[in-house]
Chain A
Amino acid sequence: MSDSLTVGILYSRIRRDEKLLLEALRERDHDVRKIDVRKERFDIEKPPEAFEDVDVLIDRCLSTSRSLYITRFAESYGIPIVNSAETAQVCADKAHNSLALKEAGVPTPRTEVAFTKETALEIVESFGYPCVLKPVIGSWGRLMAKIDSRDAAEAIFEHKATLGHYEHKVFYIQEFVEKGGRDIRVVALDGEPVAAMVRSSDHWLTNAAKGAETAEFELDDRALELVKKASDAVGGGLLGVDLMETGDDYTVHEVNHNVEFKALDGVVEENVPARLVDWLEENYAEGEQ
């Protein structure tokens, strides 16, 4: 038996995912403290009262910028946080994410970044059509473009350069992967998969948030190896690893640090939130740190 944990859930919206986690923690009689980050003040000298005596904080902030600061503050206060500031930093930005995967030897789609629309157009022309343009920050498939022609590329870059704020002046361009109409989402704890699903759609975006169909997926040895490597590449923790099938191998397009697991929990046998709680107990109970 593990001791009861005091777990601080940092949030600004309780999604279905947070609710599942809260329920699983309460079921095992852990002391759960919901901390609305919109109401907290973060002093560089000392932690807010809400952080007192917590064994571990879980960053469930929907907002990437909040997440980046909170993880950093928590570490400065010496309070364990899932995930770490380093992980948030890498995963928050698609360019950092791609670099980390590349550096770790994880296959990832060919990607280039440029800072002006003229240079972005050069990249697109050299990649050929179709190719993919993604905002470096953002999620749920929003503002992603599949570029089918030079005309389309020019129009999209013009719009971004004119209308977007500064992050949109970073052009992140990726080869289009023929992924067979689906991609794979794995929820992993320090590189150990909890469960995996495929997300299929006729649309090129197969995010669950975009309404893709989901089904449980059995990971083979190669996929297991890549999930572990991808997790290590961003510092481990509670992660969502996204892979596409390329025919003879996989390519990892990103690792999410604030992973949503409600869709996965809905399709797999495994009780995903219960596994998260097991992992918290193993790693953060008294004397386990």
Chain B
Amino acid sequence: MAQIRALRRMASLLTTPLAPEDFLALVNPLASTRQLRGVVTKVVRETADSTTIHFHPGRGWNAHAAGQWARIGVEIDGVRQWRSYSLSAAAGHDPAITVTAIGFVSTALARDTKVGDILFLNVPQGDFVLPAHPRPLLMLTAGSGLTPVMSMIRTLVPRRPDADVVLIHSARTAADALFRDELLELADQFPGLTVRHWYTREEGGRRLDLTDPTDLETLCPDWRSRAAYACGPSDFLDAATELWEHSGDDGQAQLTIERFAPVLLPGTGGAGGLVTFEKSDKEVEAGGDVPLLDAGEECGVVMPSGCRMGICRSCLTPLVAGKVRDLRTGEVHGDEGELIQTCINAAAGPVHLDI
């Protein structure tokens, strides 16, 4: 290792102001450690609008724990775009993401990704992970919310004979249900896994009702005694949270949730203002409902970010002057030098950021 470092130091004498990796990148795009990249190794169409993308990460990647997510960067029309995706592969395997096409980036990822493409990456993070000690589990998922749970199931079920997992997955139709065949096979093969599909748009289908425990009691009578994990759309998670809060009378019931989108207070936006990114020497006029993160990216500032929904704090940026509005609460705040979460704060008047 020391020899490699010495060699690198010598080589950099010849390549300055660039690094030796910049030249190695001519032949191997994964050579750069300054920007973590992965090369796509396999693309699998899962349903009509979702695709699993397997990739081999370059140096600097950390192995993921089942249930974690990573920030994925992709170039669309020449512009780098970042979004977060749960890693659907089992822990210990090369990572994969399963993307459902619902918007700008997800559609491009799901439709256009080819084997050999380069993805930009950030290391896995998140604490939506399996419990430290074995316990009976209940997984409650809807739509693309199955992805982190799929990683947990793939990691746990085949390896632990003592696993006891009940999965309740809601999808529109059987054809829309992610990983359906694999899940049914796993359930066949391993007694520790029970899979209950719930279809909302099949004949006689309706939404899973979480406003009272009736549906749950039918699907999984001992749900209260299980460690529960939920991931899905906001309203689904809101209902689950409420149900667990009210039914956990013995204090036993435990629910861990993972959100894919922030809970924003509707109509919090005010007038906005001129946002100045001082180090980058850029200015943008941004509306009062535009996260500062989006505003910065729009004018070409390389903004730090992670979840883009106010949970990971990767986006913290020092405020130089001005006030910002928290889009989740509507609160206007901002002291000089305060670290601002740019993904969930918008300008409330002119704002200067130290980036």
> Do A and B come from the same complex?
no
B: residues with CB less than 8 A from A are none
A: residues with CB less than 8 A from B are none
